Structure 1
């Protein structure tokens, strides 16, 4: 299977993108059902905001990366921050859409045969949906802090479970042709005590947990600091646009 996927990587990318696109349309359909009788202009503003924040998330994912000191193939990046913010502003489906759109755009640039993108998709959806659902019910500064704490917990649990159950076996199969010794050799070059008996536990304890803890705390802190300013800016723009529309409507009525 690993050999087949390596030989048909383009097909894998296409299928992955198709899956993400389907999920995007499903999320849009759910959003339409949940948003009720919003005006057309309000819907347009919402989708423009989603597009803008998705556009911010993509370069943060592709270019703004810092190698994790212990295992340098793990990259610290902050692309989930725009998803957190749009989730706070517009709700869970909007945050999920940013994650899905970012993933679909970044798949063609994968260097991990889509394994890294799959991991970030799982983690991004779990963290964004958790934070935005909680904040939706508690729209205060304290609510934002609590939602980010719970999203960090969801992030870590998802990262650990996904790595053990799916991502690590998949990565070894695809990147090392199912050669466990090759993967262990890569890990032991950074931490000499890692061997074929303890590699899973050691990788989770030394790599997965501290790496994801650093990223989730950093992204949560950044979101908490900048969200209110961006929220005020968004509300002001929305208010100005609403006034402009009302003025146009009044002018039309007079004519």
Structure 2
């Protein structure tokens, strides 16, 4: 029970960090789509996926999406919550699974890279389906934005957040007390 309480506390800290980051840092990258804003809020979630695996990352994603959607990003409502969940959830499932199987620097790089590609493809498809509803425009108005705006936006956002995650993961996991847990996992294999 102590381990579960510790993990719950660690996840709560990561969720709080995510909400704080989106509150402090968010800005549009492409003037043609000001509703697509960069924010570093996924970094703590990506760290959580590495710490707790894909399921833990997905749970953290769901909690953060709802909390963010009813507080700092409430203007986008349920559509914003769903789009955030689809984007980040697709990333953490892929990256978390890869890193869970190969807890090395190479595994982290491969997981982050494939997570970025997965998120980009996922969001290209979801933007075709959801953006017309969100903006009240026809699908035909969204399609011309896929290649020049939506795909680059998701590559940039996920890419930047992946690089930062790679750089800070070990430091953050040490602060949260994970290095002891990882050492025990390595010894038991």
CA distance in 2, matches of 1:108, 1:216: 23
SS at match of 2:35: coil
Contact kept? 1:83, 1:95, Cα under 8 Å? yes
Over alpha carbons, which structure has the higher Rg? 1
Contact kept? 2:47, 2:165, Cα under 8 Å? yes
Structure 1 stretches lacking a partner, 5+ long:
1-39, 174-178, 181-195, 240-255
Match of 1:235 among 157, 178, 182: 178
Tell me the residue number matched to 1:58: 19
2:161 is aligned with 1:219: yes
CA distance in 2, matches of 1:116, 1:219: 19
Provide, for residues 78-104 of structure 1, a one-character-per-residue CA deviation record: whole Å limited to 9, x for no partner: 111111111111211221122111111
2:86 is aligned with 1:122: yes
SS at match of 2:166: helix
Structure 2 stretches lacking a partner, 5+ long:
183-189
2:41 is aligned with 1:79: yes
CA distance in 1, matches of 2:152, 2:61: 23
Deviation of 1:74 after TM superposition, in Å, equals 1.7
CA distance in 1, matches of 2:169, 2:143: 37
Deviation of 1:116 after TM superposition, in Å, equals 2.2
CA distance in 1, matches of 2:27, 2:8: 31
2:35 is aligned with 1:93: no
Contact kept? 2:65, 2:85, Cα under 8 Å? yes
Deviation of 1:236 after TM superposition, in Å, equals 5.2
Runs of 4+ in 1 over 3 A off after TM superposition: 235-239
Match of 1:145 among 97, 109, 126: 109
Contact kept? 2:30, 2:149, Cα under 8 Å? no
Provide, for residues 10-65 of structure 1, a one-character-per-residue CA deviation record: whole Å limited to 9, x for no partner: xxxxxxxxxxxxxxxxxxxxxxxxxxxxxx11111111111110111112223310
Q: Could you say what the CA RMSD is over the residues aligned between the two structures, in angstroms?
A: 2.0
Tell me the residue number matched to 1:41: 2
CA distance in 2, matches of 1:144, 1:238: 18
Q: How many positions carry a matched residue from both structures?
A: 178
